[in-house]
């Protein structure tokens, strides 16, 4: 039986994780072996792209372990590999993680998804930079929250081209940072510090201007990883490594603010749900219409802010100890 795979998904880290999930789900359904893809590296600011072996980004032994648990064979390579287009695998993985309100019973597929998510262990999870950043971010006076601000140039383009025709007037899917801060102040007034994640080189508003406005208008201190790391440390890592660092830092936050149209934001919440086996509390979305944040009740499983904040909690999808369903 031919193995299946794809060369690379030309997208950000979160979407690459979803494509990998789609590949594993397909193999589980068909019984075919798989060949792991390469990872896409895109430096938007410099306009450069490339690939890296998956083992430089993710712990392949953890992935092979969950594959063995479910009877999936992972090959290093082979002459008979059906290399497919990668985006259908992304679509399959994305659809599998979406919460459907009518699905009130956990399924075997969902148990597999949770086990797969726990196997997505970045090589840099225990890196010095992560260990350095965690106390630098969270050991501060007053409440600290983490937030994903989707306010970069590429998001404005995506919003105008794809989201606007479908969502205009129904969601705050593309709002300025000031409006995000307004919502945080209205909903979480005790906040002192906000650790912000975004693609800094492609911001349309200078970071320093946002920091000054947040301090003067709200008394918030906004910090990015570039405020803590040295220029040498930042240059030593590629954009995918830096995305992993951001993901690890915000995943450790007790309170997280994101937006449900972002796969990164959704993955932060869904990843915690899968790793703990418990419903996620104290996560919010800012793209719900109105002057306040919406509190998530979907464990990161809906792109719609209305569904994300109004759906009854679904049942846990896997045991917290990480055993296969």
CB distance 89 to 9 below 8 Å: yes
Say whether both 93 and 131 belong to one domain. no
Radius of gyration of the chain (CA): 20
Instruction: Find the mean pLDDT for residues 200-221.
Output: 95
Query: Does residue 112 form part of some domain?
Result: no
Read off the pLDDT of residues 119-169 as tens digits, 9 standing for 90 and up. 999 886 666 667 778 888 998 888 899 999 999 999 999 999 999 999 988
Report DSSP state, residue 300: T
Domain closes at, from 97, 117, 140:
97
Q: Are 30 and 157 in a shared domain?
A: no
Render pLDDT for 259-290 as a digit per residue (tens, 0 to 9).
999 999 999 999 999 888 888 999 999 999 99
pLDDT for the residue 244:
86
pLDDT, residue 145, reads 96
What confidence tier does 107 reach under pLDDT thresholds 50, 70, 90? low
Question: Is residue 104 assigned to a domain?
Answer: no
Same domain, 205 and 71: no
**CA geometry: angle at 270 spanning 268 and 276, to 5°?**
100
Q: Kindly report the pTM of this predicted structure.
A: 0.88
Which tokens go with 134?
């965690």
Answer whether residue 312 shows pLDDT above 70.
no
Q: Grade residue 228 by pLDDT with cuts at 50, 70 and 90.
A: confident
Nearest to 222 by CA among 197, 186, 199: 197
One domain for residues 231 and 303: yes
Same domain, 23 and 90: yes
Categorize the per-residue pLDDT at 222 as very low, low, confident or very high, splitting at 50, 70 and 90: very high
Together in a domain, 267 and 133: yes
Residue bearing the bigger pLDDT, 28 or 103: 28
- Which of the listed residues 97, 113, 142 is the one where a domain comes to its end? 97
pLDDT at 324 over 50: no
- In this prediction, residues 206-218 reach a mean pLDDT of 96
CATH of the domain at 152: 3.40.50.11350
Among 136-140, 165-169, 216-220, 245-249, name the most confident range: 216-220
Range of the domain at 254: 125-310
317 inside domain = no
Number of domains in the chain: 2
Mean pLDDT (whole number) for 208-223: 96
- Per residue in 41-58, pLDDT (tens digit) is 876 555 667 899 999 999
* Mean pLDDT computed over 306-315: 75
Q: Residue 118 domain-assigned?
A: no
pLDDT of residue 103: 43
What pLDDT sits at residue 313? 55
Query: Which DSSP helix (H) or strand (E) runs through 257?
Result: strand 256-258
Residues 45 and 163 in one domain: no
Helices 239-251 and 263-276: angle between axes, nearest 10 degrees: 50
Q: Is residue 255 part of a domain?
A: yes
């Amino acid at each position: 039986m031919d193995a299946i795979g794809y060369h690379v998904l030309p997208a950000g880290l979160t979407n690459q994780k979803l494509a990998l999930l789609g590949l594993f789900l397909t193999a589980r359904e068909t019984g075919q072996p798989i060949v792991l893809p390469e990872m896409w590296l895109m430096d938007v600011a410099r306009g450069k792209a490339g690939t890296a072996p998956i083992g430089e980004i993710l712990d392949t032994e953890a992935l092979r372990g969950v594959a063995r648990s479910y009877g999936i064979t992972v090959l290093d390579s082979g002459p008979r590999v059906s290399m497919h287009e990668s985006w259908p695998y992304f679509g399959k993985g994305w659809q599998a993680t979406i919460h459907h309100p009518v699905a009130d019973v956990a399924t075997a597929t969902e148990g597999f998804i949770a086990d797969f998510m726990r196997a997505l262990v970045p090589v840099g999870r225990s890196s010095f930079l992560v260990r350095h950043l965690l106390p630098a971010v969270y050991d501060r006076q007053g409440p600290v929250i983490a937030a994903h601000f989707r306010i970069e140039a590429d998001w404005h383009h995506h919003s105008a081209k794809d989201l606007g025709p479908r969502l205009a007037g129904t969601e705050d899917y593309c709002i300025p940072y000031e409006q995000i801060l307004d919502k945080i102040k209205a909903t979480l007034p005790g906040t002192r510090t906000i650790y912000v994640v975004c693609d800094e080189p492609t911001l349309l508003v200078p970071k320093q201007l946002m920091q000054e406005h947040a301090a003067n208008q709200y008394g918030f201190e906004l910090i990015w990883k570039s405020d803590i790391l040295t220029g040498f440390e930042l240059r030593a890592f590629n954009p995918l490594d830096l995305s992993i660092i951001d993901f690890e830092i915000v995943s450790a936050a007790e309170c997280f603010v994101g937006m449900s149209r972002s796969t990164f934001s959704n993955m932060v919440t869904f990843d915690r749900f899968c790793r703990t086996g418990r419903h996620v509390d104290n996560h919010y979305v800012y793209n719900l219409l109105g002057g306040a944040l919406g509190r998530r009740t979907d464990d990161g499983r809906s792109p719609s802010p209305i569904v994300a904040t109004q759906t009854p909690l679904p049942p846990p999808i896997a045991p917290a100890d990480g055993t296969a369903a």
